[in-house]
Chain A
Amino acid sequence: MSCTVHIPSPLRSYTAGAHRVPADGATLEEVLASLEGRFTGIRFRVVDEQSHIRPHIRFYVNAREAQELCAPVGAGDAVHVICALTGG
């Protein structure tokens, strides 16, 4: 299954500046593995070594927040990676 991942600016150094990239997978975990296969290092910046989504990262599949990596992703879905930052 193919979806579109919307890449936020802090991660575009991995995607050669691309704002949106296609990825395969039926779950968020598989989508991230698909991304990692093409853009080495990107997964660890958003998911830690215990497979927990990092504290200031959110994933949305279409308009619904995916709080676990087992969240399903369907063909044609849009996956958004959101980065949160406060202060200077």
Chain B
Amino acid sequence: MTAMLWIGTRKGAFTLRPDERRRSWKLSGPQFLGHIIHHIVQDPREPRVLMMAAKTGHLGPTVYRSSDRGRTWQEAGQPPAFRKAADGEAARAVQKVFWLTPGHASERGSWYAGSSPAGLFRSEDGGERWQPVAGFNDHPMRSKWVGFGTPDGELLHSVHIDSRDPKHLYLAISAGGVFESTDGGAGWTPLNEGCAADFLPDPNAQYGHDPHCVAMHPLAPDRLYQQNHCGIYRLDRPARRWERIGQAMPKNVGDVGFPIVLHPTDPDTAWVIPMDGQTVWPRTSIGGKPAVYRTRDGGKRWRRCDDGLPKSQAWLTVLRQAMCTDDRLPHLGLYFGTTGGEVWASVNGGENWRCIARHLPEIYSVTHAI
């Protein structure tokens, strides 16, 4: 089966299929034209299965499932939804399903979903029926953890499951912080020590931070990386204090961005796309000169990778789900999509870049599937 990219956009889902050398790409779609697609994720346990988070401008949010690699889709019978509010309790309703994560390898058919407003949901039947994870959604501290209220609603994302222990979970909330559970989601604790939150009055706040993207290395689950609103970080568990590895980025570039993606086998290699986080936070390529930065030593040093990318007047924004790798080693493919509807590809780990699709709607996610 040929590997491919799934592109989730503000107006539907698209696919990009390469030839064997990944020089020519065929764009197909749209599927679900007019739907807002936040995430499309393949199930590594059953590669024929895909999950898609969708809504429209007027209709409520839902999840679609495919068991034939995306040829046909079926809507969840019970999409993610908060429990019914008790009398006098604030009523919460899922506005969008923002994030999807397949469950642990030993729990076939299990999935997690993150929503806005921040909620965590779990399916144990391949995405047909979703249940709220009460340990997080009803945690007595939840309203404080997620109380910042970002303009588009706070987002629960970056759900990770420790490959050694299905009960060991991480999630991130933007804004709210990173949280950890060691009991399958029944209890949660903040995990933000060392992270800056320069928009908060308390420099030592335990929560309220703004992790844009957290990545766990698939072969070294104690190695976490984080692209935060306030810097790039690494955490090697069991330590609890994040180290700001973005300090090694060039000062005129800084270390603000949305995505961070990891090499599939080398825990010391990661890529980010810096964006302008100054003044009113334009969140575009710095100086109109887009670049990917790569570290090969866990963040001690970063190298600019911009060959093939526009040299000026290119004000790109790349959202947190819109960057991924493929699995073609040693010539690893790296891909990102922009809010301006372009998809860029590198087939040598970021050394050179080429635009492989243009004129798409605003891109929310780029994911690899086999």
Contact = CB atoms under 8 A, between A and B. Distances in A.
Interface in B1-50: 34
A49 B84 contact: yes
Contacts of A45: 59-60, 62
Nearest to B85: A50
A33 interface: no
A49 B78 CA distance: 11
A54 B59 contact: yes
A84 B62 contact: no
Given A46-B60, A49-B93, A57-B58, A41 B81 contact: no
Contacts of B56: 10, 85
B59 A46 contact: yes
Contacts of A87: 57
Contacts of A85: 56-58
Nearest to B57: A85
Interface string A37-79: 0001100111111111010110000000000000000000000
25 contacts: A10-B34, A10-B58, A10-B59, A11-B59, A40-B75, A41-B62, A41-B77, A44-B60, A44-B62, A45-B60, A45-B62, A46-B59, A48-B81, A48-B93, A49-B83, A50-B84, A50-B92, A50-B93, A51-B84, A56-B57, A56-B58, A57-B58, A57-B59, A83-B59, A86-B57
Interface of B: 34, 56-60, 62, 75-77, 79, 81-85, 91-94
Given A51-B84, A56-B57, A87-B57, 18 more contacts: A10-B58, A41-B62, A41-B77, A44-B60, A44-B79, A44-B81, A45-B59, A48-B60, A49-B81, A49-B94, A50-B84, A52-B91, A54-B58, A57-B59, A83-B58, A83-B59, A84-B58, A85-B56
Interface pairs A-B: 10 shortest CB-CB? A49-B81, A48-B93, A83-B58, A50-B91, A45-B59, A56-B58, A85-B57, A45-B60, A41-B75, A85-B58
